[in-house]
Each structure stands twice: as structure tokens, then as C-alpha cells.
Structure 1
Amino acid sequence: MRNRTRLHLLAAAAVAAALPLAAQAFPDKPITFVVPFAAGTATDQLARAIGNEVAQDGKQAVVIDNKAGASGMIAAQQVAKAAPDGYTVLITTNTTHAANEHLYKKLPYDPVKDFAPLTGLGKGGQIMVVNTASPAKSVMDFVGMAKKSPGKYSFGSGSSSSRMAGELLQQMADIKLLHVPYKSNTLAVTDLLGGQIDMMITDSATGLPQVKAGKLRPLGYSSATRSPLAPDVPTIAEAGVKGYEMGYWFAAYAPANTPPAVVKRLNELLAKAARSEAAANAFYRPTGTEVFTTSPEELAKFQAAESAKWAAIIKTAGIEAE
């Protein structure tokens, strides 16, 4: 009996000792970054920039899996149901983890219970753009047009951040626009270029290249301060809608119940990648995105605060959950 007890204790000790070793060995196979939006979007660009650095540091390939559609719910659900081993990571935004729970009556995932927060990755602003053929040369030009013809002009969005930016503009400028939803901001930009929609407020990574190419006209920037990449473009607040401000953020999550040691390792890999010079050159500087890294605990608190903020915006905008 004494020998049997001793064997059980030795076995338990062996298992306990193996856990840190397993974490030290992580990763020992490719990691999949699931992205809720299409290739070419800001989130996709960030995932690829971060993925390159994680692959080099972790000495394992990083696969980018774009699962666009349903406001990020398809991707979020996929990660929520994935094995909690650290090899499936959601590279996402406030769309899936702060806005959707207030925009939809039923989600196929729980943004808190189904995920293990890893780290924040970045913060950014959005740019209000119109087709170059539009008569609107400024934010207030567009507002004036919308006031004269309520419901005539449309705005597109391919993310909750983009949609909320448009909804907040309607609320604060006292105008009525037609909302046209898309699976991604890149698809909305395509229709804006083609004249199918009249305006959109999109992430800088998607909108600024079209502005610099002379294909879209910038009217305003959604953050409290001007973008360093477009210093001549006034903020929407400066342009006449006083008090207007709407930004977005990126973060990484693993499935709930991922081992703490693996969460810690992923946090280290991702945060280091976000702060790397290579990622700065590939994504952060070209898009004007601010590096924003956190501990898992800090991300959980930040997410909770952001969810409350977005709930208030959505309620004030009078948006009914779908």
C-alpha cells in the first residue's frame, strides 16, 4: 500500500513537472492566426506583420486564416470552439469583443467566457472618405447634403468600428443616412470607388492608400488628433462636428481554458512581435497605428471598459439589436 501511494505521488510529480516543460517547448508546430476580416484589411495586415515575427521568434510557421463575414462572428466562433492548446489564436478588434454583444441578440460565442485574453496589439483612428466625383469637399458639405435630403445618401461599413463611426456621425450631426453593410471594409471601399455608396468611415490602413492614389477624397479623421500620415486632413471634430471621436483597437485571444503557461508564452511572443522594428515598418508606421500591448489581465479589464463604452454609444444612437 505504501509503495502504491509512493508511485501515485511520483506520477503526479512527473505530470506537474512536465507542464512547464511543455510550455517551454511551445510552439512545436505551426500556429494558426484566425482573422475575422478579409485579406487586405487592417486586421489582416496586422496579423501578417505580427505573424512573421512570431514565426521567427517561435521557430514555427504562422498560418493566416481569413474567416470574413457576419461581423467577425464566424471567426470568433471558430476560435471559441478550437482546442485550447495555444495553436489557434484570434487576431481581432473591438468588433467581436466589445460591440457585437450589444448589436446582436444572440451570438454564437461569449466574448468573455469563451476566450483567454492574450494581449492588446494596437489602437487606431478612421478616415471619412467619399468618391472623388462627390460634390462634398468637406465634412460639413456632406452633412449639409444629408440634411437637405434625409435618407438619400448612404454610408458603407465592413466592421462594427466603421458602422459605429457612421452611426455616431448621424447622431451628432443630426442627419439621416442609409446604412449598407459589407463583409469587410475593403469590399465597401470597392463599392465607394464604383459609386454604389456615397461615403464611409474606414480604418486608415484600408482608406489611406486610396486617398494617396487620388481615388478617394478624405473629409475628416475620426480620432481626437490628426493622423501623422494625413496631417492636412482635419479631425471630424475640427471640421464641424464638435466632440466627435471614434477609434478602434486590435487584440489577441486564445480559446478559454488554454493553459496559463501557454497563455504567458503567447503573450510574450505576440507583445514582442508588436514592439518589433519589423512590425513597425510593415504595419504600425504605414497605417499610423499606435502600438498597444498589455498583460492578459490588463486586456480583460480594458475589454470590459470598452464593452461598457460601446454599449452606451449604441444605446444613444438608438440602434436595436438584430
Structure 2
Amino acid sequence: MKRRTLCGVLALASVALAALAMPTAFAATYPEKMVKVIVSLPPGSGADTTARFLAQHLAQQLGQPFVVENKPGANSFIAAKAVVDAAPDGYTMFVASNTPMVTNAAVFKKLPYDPIRDFTPVASIARFPMIIVVPASSPYKTLAELVVAMKAAPGKLNFASGTPSYQIAMEQFHERNGIKGTAVNYKGTGPAITDLAAGVCDYSIAEVSSVLPLIHGGKLRALAVADSQRHRELPDVPTAEELDHKGYEAYAWTGVYFPAKVPKEIAQRVGDIVRSTLNGSEGMAFIQKMGGTVFTGSAQQFTDFQLAEIEKTKRIVKIANIPVE
């Protein structure tokens, strides 16, 4: 009886040890097939271009294809849900912007996913400052002139809002200056900026890569960079800080996620490659060309950053009385 009991205990111990070793062994051979990289924005967007750059380098270093799959629409719900519903085996990856991972948590009462509990943070990628812009034909040559006009006629001027993130960034500026504008919401940054350049709207704010071509092309006028330092592509455009709007910053960011409960060894392995790629000369040059700044750190630092961003965004939504759907 004692021998049988001892054998049983040893058998259970062997199973337990094998189970503990499985994630490590699995990670050592990962990946053994194609990895799907989901993006919530259409081809040609900043997040899509970044995802394809990282996919190429991950494929080179891990020996299996990383294939980008675009799932735009529905406020990024479709893409986020596709990641959440995928098996947590490392074969579905999410290159996400701040919209599904932060903004949605602040502007929707109920989401079909939880931006914290349903994902494994892998690595942050980059930050892209936002620029306050007006049409090139606008009578407002400076940010101060725009603010004065808005104070003189509260709510009369309208702003093109390509995403909820941009609306929140603009409303934050309004709240800090005691001014009001009327949001004109668009289904995407492209249509919003196109209408702004045509003079349909009076002003807007958008991530630098989406407005830079139109600024350089003479279709838009940049009034201020919503960052602590001037942008290298717009050396003559002052920062909000320089214009006495101290502490006002607005930026878009991107990061890499897996579904929740993915083996941590896989997340660590992919995260290490993403960080080394971005911090290398080619990665730095790629992000700079897109108008951004490499923004990497540990998975825990990324988690802490995301939590802080959610709380900050919720606070802005409440103060600015932005409707929550």
C-alpha cells in the first residue's frame, strides 16, 4: 500500500513538474507557424505601417511569417474583440493605438472587452505628438488669435474631430482656456483633415504624421505643437508650452499586446525583439520618419503608463462634459 501511495505521489509530482516546464518549452520553440498581427486601423495608417515594420523584423529573427491583418471600424471594437477571442498561444498579436486601449474606456459606458484584464502588454512602441492646425486660408495666424476669437463667440467656431482621442485632446485645450468650440465628428482622421484643409471646419488637432504632408503642402497652417519640445519637421512652429499653455500635451501612441494569459516567456521574447528593434538605428530612423519618438520600456512600465492614461482621459472627459455612450 505504501509503495502504491509513493508511486502515486511521484506520478503526480512528475505531471506537475511537466506542466510547469510546458510554457518554457513551448516558448523555446515559438513560433512554429504563422503569427497573425491585428491592427484596428486601415492600410497606410501609422499603426499599420508600424505593424508591418515590426512584423518584418520579428519574422526575420523568429523564422516564421508575421502577417498583418487589418480590422478597422466600430471604434476599434472589431479588432480588439478578435484579439480577445483568440487563443492565448502567442499566434495572435495586437498592434494597438491609444484609441482601443485608453480612449474607449473613457467614452463608452460598456465595452465588449476590458483594455486591461483582457490583454497582455508586450511593449510600447512610439509616441506621436499632436498639432493644432487651421486651414491655410484661415484668418487666425497664431494660437492666441484663435483663442481670442473663441472667447468672443463661444461655440461659434467648429473643429474637425477625426477620432474620439482627438476630440478629447481638443476639449482638454478648451477646458484649460475657458473656451468652447463645436465638434464636427468624422469617421476617421483622413476625412476630417481633408474637410479642414478645404475650409469646411475652422480648426482641429491631429497626430503629426496625418497633418505633416498638408502642412508642408501649404494646405494647413500649424499653430502649435502639443508637446514639451518643438517638432524636428516643424522647427518654426512653437510648442504649447512656449505659448504659455504650460503642461498641455496631447499625443497618440502605439503598443504591442497579446491576449490575456499568453505564456509570459513568449511575451518576454517578443517584447525583447520589439524593444531592440526600435532602439536600433533602423528603428529610430523609421519612427522619426513617421514624425514620432521611440517610446519603449518594460511590460510593467507599459501597464503603469496605460493605467495612468486611462485615469487622465476619464478625468478630461468628465471635466469637459464629453458625452459617454
TM score, norm. by length of structure 1: 0.90
C-alpha distance in structure 1 between counterparts of 2:35 and 2:311, whole Å: 32
C-alpha distance in structure 2 between counterparts of 1:165 and 1:305, whole Å: 16
**Residue of structure 1 equivalent to 2:98:** 94
| Corresponding residue pairs, total | 321
Q: Is the 8 A contact 2:132 2:204 kept in 1?
A: yes
Q: Is the 8 A contact 2:228 2:249 kept in 1?
A: yes
Aligned-partner residue type, residue 226 of structure 1: R
**Residue of structure 2 equivalent to 1:307:** 310
Calculate the aligned-residue CA RMSD, in Å: 2.3
2:159 counterpart of 1:155: yes
C-alpha distance in structure 1 between counterparts of 2:44 and 2:222, whole Å: 20
C-alpha distance in structure 2 between counterparts of 1:51 and 1:213, whole Å: 31
2:301 counterpart of 1:298: yes
2:143 counterpart of 1:139: yes
C-alpha distance in structure 1 between counterparts of 2:47 and 2:141, whole Å: 29
Q: Is the 8 A contact 2:123 2:298 kept in 1?
A: yes
Greater shift after overlay, 65-74 or 205-214?
A: 65-74
**How far off its partner does 1:10 sit?**
4.7
Aligned-partner residue type, residue 317 of structure 2: I
**How far off its partner does 1:185 sit?**
1.7
**3-state DSSP class of the match of 2:223?**
strand
Larger Rg: 2
Q: Is the 8 A contact 1:139 1:240 kept in 2?
A: no
**How far off its partner does 1:14 sit?**
4.5
Aligned-partner residue type, residue 301 of structure 1: D
C-alpha distance in structure 2 between counterparts of 1:194 and 1:32, whole Å: 39
Question: Taking every aligned residue pair, what percent have the same amino acid on both sides?
Answer: 35
1:267 to 271, 277, 281: 271
**Residue of structure 2 equivalent to 1:125:** 129
**How far off its partner does 1:9 sit?**
5.0
TM score, norm. by length of structure 2: 0.89
Q: Is the 8 A contact 2:159 2:202 kept in 1?
A: yes
Superposition pairs for residues 219-234 of structure 1, below 5 Å? 219-234=223-238
Describe the shift of the 1:296–1:201 C-alpha distance in structure 2 as closer, same or farther (beyond 3 A): same
Structure 2 unmatched runs, 5+: none
Structure 1 unmatched runs, 5+: none
**Residue of structure 1 equivalent to 2:47:** 43
Listed one character per residue, the Cα deviations across residues 24-73 of structure 1 (whole Å, up to 9, x for unaligned) are 12122222222222333322222222222222222222222222233323
**3-state DSSP class of the match of 1:40?**
coil
Q: Is the 8 A contact 1:70 1:183 kept in 2?
A: no
